């Protein structure tokens, strides 16, 4: 359904290997929860770019699945849902995705418009 390839946005990205329908579950993966008291050590590494805020205590969630290869887009074609009950993450398509199209997500929380830590590159 998808594979990791070089991305025109920079680095690597996740690309559809066949047409994907709207509202398709692309991935269901476990989370590794990192306690808030261990977060400072993580922040000094590149891994911190791949975690999500989990709770008010500073716990971070690392998705153990291919969604970490999804690049950011201001107009994403997929979204990542963190599922508290199962401590897992689900990647869902928002619209049909064509073969060879990059699968993208928004790195911002819903309704948030704060600056990101990198320059956003949109593919043509």
- pLDDT tens profile 72-93: 888 899 999 999 999 999 999 9
Whether 118 has a pLDDT exceeding 60, the answer reads no
The separation between CA 94 and the C-alpha centre of its own chain, rounded to angstroms, equals: 14
The alpha-helical segments, DSSP class H, found in 1-124 are 39-43
pLDDT, tens digit, for every residue of 34-64?
A: 999 998 898 889 898 889 989 999 999 999 9
For residues 71 and 24, the model is more confident at: 24
Length of the chain: 124
Number of H helices, E strands in the chain: 1, 9
pLDDT > 90? residue 116 = no
When pLDDT is cut at 50, 70 and 90, the band that residue 115 belongs to is: low
Could you give the domains of the chain?
2-105 (2.170.270.10)
pLDDT top residue among 22 and 72? 22
What is the spatial distance between Cα 93 and Cα 67, in angstroms, rounded to a whole number? 12
Higher pLDDT, 30 or 41: 30
pTM (2 decimals)? 0.86
């Amino acid at each position: 359904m998808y594979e990791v390839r070089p991305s025109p946005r920079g680095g690597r990205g996740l690309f559809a290997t066949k047409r994907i329908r709207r509202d398709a579950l692309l991935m269901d993966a476990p989370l590794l929860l990192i306690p808030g008291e261990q977060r400072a050590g993580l922040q000094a590494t590149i891994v911190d770019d791949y975690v999500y805020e989990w709770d008010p205590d500073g716990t971070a969630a690392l998705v153990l699945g291919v969604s970490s290869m999804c690049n950011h887009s201001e107009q994403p074609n997929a979204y990542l849902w963190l599922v508290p009950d199962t401590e897992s993450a689900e990647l869902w398509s928002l619209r049909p995705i064509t073969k060879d199209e990059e699968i993208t997500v928004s790195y911002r929380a819903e309704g948030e418009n704060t600056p990101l830590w990198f320059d956003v590159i949109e593919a043509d």
